[in-house]
């Protein structure tokens, strides 16, 4: 079985990223790009990002998670600490995030250190989620082997019965991470594969930019 993809080509012509367009702070540029993609509404989940970790088996692993907030401290997402990603981060907090927004022919790649958010922040976000999602955190032991779909649904029913008429508590093993960036690259597709790549690197308390060859 094979499939030839040699003719899958696209010319990137929607925008540009020149030095005079780049602010001193990368979070400002990220917010501009995020808002532009959100505005045109072409991305199903504009906050979807790929999280890359190094697993306990020393292999890299990528998966898509959802960005839930960002500011100049970093980029926040939530998960089960006992999941593959949680265990990987506990062993090696060096991670990479990447956003791909094909509607604007853009990518953002972020390298940084993942740290747990405060228990207060995680609890506040947990209780902002739909009740079904809160119960799901109790029903699913993320990344562990499960016998069947029926077992998951049974676990959910048990959680519903246990917390019927009550506030669903946040599990101790569930919380958030903030990825504090050391480098952020902004990639804008251009014609003839001469893409614009501007990288911000953290040096003490300031950011230094450089253009990278495509």
- 82 with 186, same domain: the answer is yes
12, part of any domain: no
- Angstrom distance (rounded) from CA 69 to CA 77: 7
Is 193 a known active-site residue?
yes
10, part of any domain: no
Count of structural domains, the chain = 2
148, part of any domain: yes
Q: Which of 95, 124, 96, 110 is nearest to 186 (CA)?
A: 110
- 160 with 142, same domain: the answer is yes
28, part of any domain: yes
7, part of any domain: no
- 24 with 74, same domain: the answer is yes
137, with CB counted inside 10 A (0-12, 13-18, 19+), is: buried
Residues near 42 by Cβ (< 8 Å), separated by ≥ 6?
102, 103, 104
CA atoms lying within 13 Å on the CB side of residue 34: 20
Tens of pLDDT along the chain (214 residues) come to 899 888 888 888 899 999 999 999 999 999 999 999 999 876 679 999 999 999 999 999 999 999 999 999 999 999 999 999 999 999 999 999 999 999 999 999 999 999 999 999 999 999 999 999 999 999 988 888 889 999 999 999 999 999 999 999 999 999 999 999 999 999 999 999 999 999 999 998 899 999 999 9
- 116 with 146, same domain: the answer is no
The active-site residue out of 63, 131, 193, 211 is 193
The CATH number covering residue 100 comes to: 2.30.110.10
- 194 with 111, same domain: the answer is yes
Q: The domain containing residue 146 runs over which residues? A: 128-169
Query: Could you tell me the end-to-end alpha-carbon distance of the chain, in angstroms, rounded to an integer?
Result: 33
Task: Look at residue 59 in the predicted model and tell me its pLDDT.
Answer: 97
- 70 with 133, same domain: the answer is no
Task: Supply the Cα-derived Rg of the chain in whole angstroms.
Answer: 20
**Model confidence, pTM:** 0.93
Torsion over CA: 49, 135, 132, 167 (sign): negative
**CA dihedral angle for residue 52, residue 196, residue 189, residue 9, rounded to 10 degrees:** -90
């Amino acid at each position: 079985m094979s499939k030839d993809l040699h003719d899958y080509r696209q010319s990137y012509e929607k925008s540009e990223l020149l030095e005079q367009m780049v602010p001193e702070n990368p979070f400002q540029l990220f917010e501009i790009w995020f808002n532009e993609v959100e505005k045109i509404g072409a991305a199903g989940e504009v906050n979807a990002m790929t999280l890359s970790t190094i697993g306990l088996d020393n292999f890299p692993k990528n998966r898509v998670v959802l960005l839930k907030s960002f500011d100049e401290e970093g980029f926040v997402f939530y998960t089960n600490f006992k999941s593959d990603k949680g265990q990987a981060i506990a062993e090696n907090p060096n991670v990479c995030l990447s956003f791909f927004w094909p509607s604007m022919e853009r990518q953002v790649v972020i390298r940084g250190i993942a740290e747990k958010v405060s228990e207060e922040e995680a609890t506040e976000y947990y209780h902002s989620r739909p009740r079904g999602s809160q119960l799901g955190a109790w029903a699913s032991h993320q990344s562990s082997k499960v016998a069947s779909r029926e077992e998951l649904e049974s676990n959910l029913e048990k959680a519903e019965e246990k917390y019927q008429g009550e506030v669903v508590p946040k599990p101790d093993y569930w919380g958030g991470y903030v990825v504090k960036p050391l480098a952020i690259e902004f990639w804008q597709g251009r014609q003839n594969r001469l893409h614009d790549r501007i990288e911000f690197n953290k040096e003490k308390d300031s950011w230094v930019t450089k253009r990278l060859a495509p």
